[in-house]
Structure 1
Amino acid sequence: MRGAEPFLLNEHLSRMVRSAARMELALPPVEELVKLAAQACDGWDPAVEGALRLTCTRGPEATGEVTCYAILTAVGAASKAARARGLNVAGITLGFPAAIRTDAPWLLGGVKSLSYAVNMASQRWATANGLDDVLWLSADGFVLEAPTSTVVWRDGDALCTVPVSSTGILPGTTARHLLDNAGALGLTAEERMVTTASLTAASGVWLLSSVRGCAPIHTIDGVALAPSPDTVRIQTLLGFHAPE
């Protein structure tokens, strides 16, 4: 078990509770969700890196009884390889200003839901265009997040990420854990708005998620970024290791 895993499970459950409240979805007690997660992990080979997904739905339409289930699968080779080889990404627009979701609760800013059509369409577009992933941009030109990852970059002695409260992006648990422990790397933590042009000048840019871990970005919109010596340090801190 990685050192960050208990924290990540607690944070994922907290995010699930917040998201469910926003959607008026009644969840079972958190203790029951923890038991469900433990049942899914029971008997899993600790030598195999796995990804646990907890899903809660409103259940059958006839009864409206909430249904929850857990799926545990091995982390794919492509996700692990990205930690070593890095990512070639491009910025694509979401079509609305960065701050619009803070005043539009019906857009479900910051909610983790099953509505992943745009996320998957974005990644299919990336693959079709010879890219590994994309950065979602606001209509006013700011980087928000990636379809399944949080953007983190280094500027001077600070590890930075995009503010959640003013943009409505999904709060990344892995990124939060990194920034909360930035001091262990001799760095500080900040939240800032950023553009792709500023990212290309950063001394390290990464996409962080609980499955892919920490994957460095090596190219943005065709502009090559210098490799960062912080990548291995961050991966080690988080417990995600690139394949040999």
Structure 2
Amino acid sequence: MPWRFALLIDPAASDDPREDYSRTFSAVAPAGPVLPVGELSTQRGDGIFESIGVIDAHPQEVEAHLERLVRSAQICDLPAPNLAQWRQAIAAAAGHCGTGEAVIKLILSRGVERGPAPTAWVTAADAADFRGPRAEGVRVVTLDRGHDSGAPARAPWLLLGAKTLSYAVNMAAIREAKRRGADDAVFVTTDGLVLEAPTASVIIRTGDEYATPTPAGGILQGTTQASVFSWLDAQGIRTAYRDVSTDELRTADAAWLVSSVRLAAPVSEVDGIPITVDGDVTARLNGYLLSPRD
């Protein structure tokens, strides 16, 4: 992933009235040493982030990502982000993306241990090549997330609905999926409900309905999934937020993993059970997702 740009941010208060935040930005060498040793994002994964897909220098669905950044900050007891400041930082990063697909990452950390303020930065990099998974599909295995569907309400301190930097479990799940001969994983609850993939939302089609698990506390609310549902709704196609059982995933007429950078990857197999890859719908989904969207 060739890095194109990195920008350190001096986080402004959410009610800061300034219109121009350029003096709060500091461009740095993407490959150079920047963060101090005591930075809690690296020591404990204590922070939040967003990954914004970029098409031909156009950052996709910025407001949806910023809204989720605010929700994650609230869940994690981090200072509320100044959205005007972050918008300007995103625009600065997008100017370095050029043509093709790229990704802008927003990171807000609790800062240096015992330090006075949070740390924030934005990066821009070339996106990975996902043309293969989009065309051929991905094989997934279901993995027990280790809690039942009531855990988010009982234990909000687990931060299950926040997009945090603590991604060790997510990466371990993908490694386990590969050990089992699959490409990716889908987390499920101990009582048999589908949650999400480690880095994507799950959409299934059963009959004429497209469904995704209800974005309650245990599921990160997917920006790309919401955009796909808006697109489907505009065409009069039925969508639903509801409980999706593991058995329903395995017997779906079609299924997709969707995310901001991979876009829509059809699921070709669940736990060794083949699922039909709907190439026509997938092509239309990705045609939409590759078009500029605000």
1:168 positional shift: 1.9
The letter for the 1-side match of 2:225 is A
1:138-153 pair list within 5 angstroms: 138-153=189-204
Between the aligned partners of 1:218 and 1:80, the Cα distance in structure 2 is 15
Equivalent residue letter for 2:64 = E
Alignment match, 2:224: 174
Counterpart for residue 111 of structure 1? 162
Distance 1:72 1:128 in 2: 31
Tell me which residue corresponds to 1:157: 208
Matched, 1:202 2:252: yes
Structure 1 residue 181, shift from structure 2 partner: 2.2
User: Does residue 8 of the first structure (1) align with residue 61 of the second (2)?
Assistant: yes
Between Structure 1 and Structure 2, which shows a larger proportion of helix residues? Answer: 1
In structure 1, the residue matched to 2:144 is 93
Give me the whole-angstrom Cα distance separating, in 2, the residues matched to 1:21 and 1:159.
Answer: 30
- Tell me which moved more, 228-237 or 11-20: 228-237
Q: Is the 8 A contact 2:142 2:271 kept in 1?
A: yes
Question: Do the aligned residues in 2 keep the contact of 1:196 with 1:220 (CA within 8 Å)?
Answer: no
Aligned residue in 2 for 1:53: 105
Is the contact made by 1:203 and 1:226 (CA closer than 8 Å) also made in structure 2? Answer: yes
Q: Which residue of 2 aligns with 1:132?
A: 183
- Closer, same or farther: CA 236–185 of 1 in aligned 2, 3 Å: farther
What whole-Å deviation, never above 9, does each CA across 1:4-52 have from its counterpart, x for those lacking one?
x666211111111111012111144101011111111213212x20011
Distance in 1 between residues matched to 2:59 and 2:239, nearest whole Å? 22
The TM-score, its normalising length taken from structure 2, stands at 0.75
1:16-31 aligned at under 5 Å gives the runs 16-31=69-84
Pick from 275, 278, 283: which aligns with 1:225?
275
| Cα offsets for 1:169-227 (capped at 9, x unmatched) | 10000001111221344411101212232123222100000011000000001111112
Aligned to 2:30: none
What is the letter of the counterpart of residue 169 of structure 1? Answer: I
Contact 1:87 1:218 survives alignment (8 Å)? yes
Contact 2:93 2:122 (C-alpha < 8 Å) held by counterparts: yes
Alignment check: 8 A CA contact 1:204 1:230 kept: no
Residue 2 of structure 1: CA displacement?
Answer: 4.8
| Distance change in 2, residues 1:106/1:62 (3 Å) | closer
* Structure 2 CA distance for partners of 1:70 and 1:6, relative to 1, 3 Å: closer
Q: Is the 8 A contact 1:102 1:109 kept in 2?
A: no
Query: 2: CA distance between counterparts of 1:73 and 1:227?
Result: 30
Q: Does 1:73 align with 2:125?
A: yes
User: Are the aligned partners of 2:70 and 2:81 in contact in 1 as well (CA < 8 Å)?
Assistant: no
| Other-structure match for 2:285 | 234
Identity of matched residues, %: 35
Paired amino acid for 2:283: V
TM-score under structure 1 length normalisation: 0.90
Alignment deviations for residues 80-126 of structure 1 (CA, whole Å, 9 cap, x no partner)? 32111100011110121012112321111211111101001001111
Give the structure with higher Rg (CA).
2
Provide the alpha-carbon RMSD of the alignment: 1.9
State the Cα distance separating 1:164 from its structure 2 match.
Answer: 1.2
Q: 1:41 to 1:194 in 2, by over 3 A?
A: same
- What is the CA–CA distance in structure 2 between the aligned matches of 1:216 and 1:84, rounded to whole Å? 8
Distance 1:56 1:44 in 2: 21
Q: Tell me which amino acid in the other structure corresponds to 2:218.
A: G
Q: 1:186 to 1:201 in 2, by over 3 A?
A: farther
Partner residue in 1 for 2:92: 39
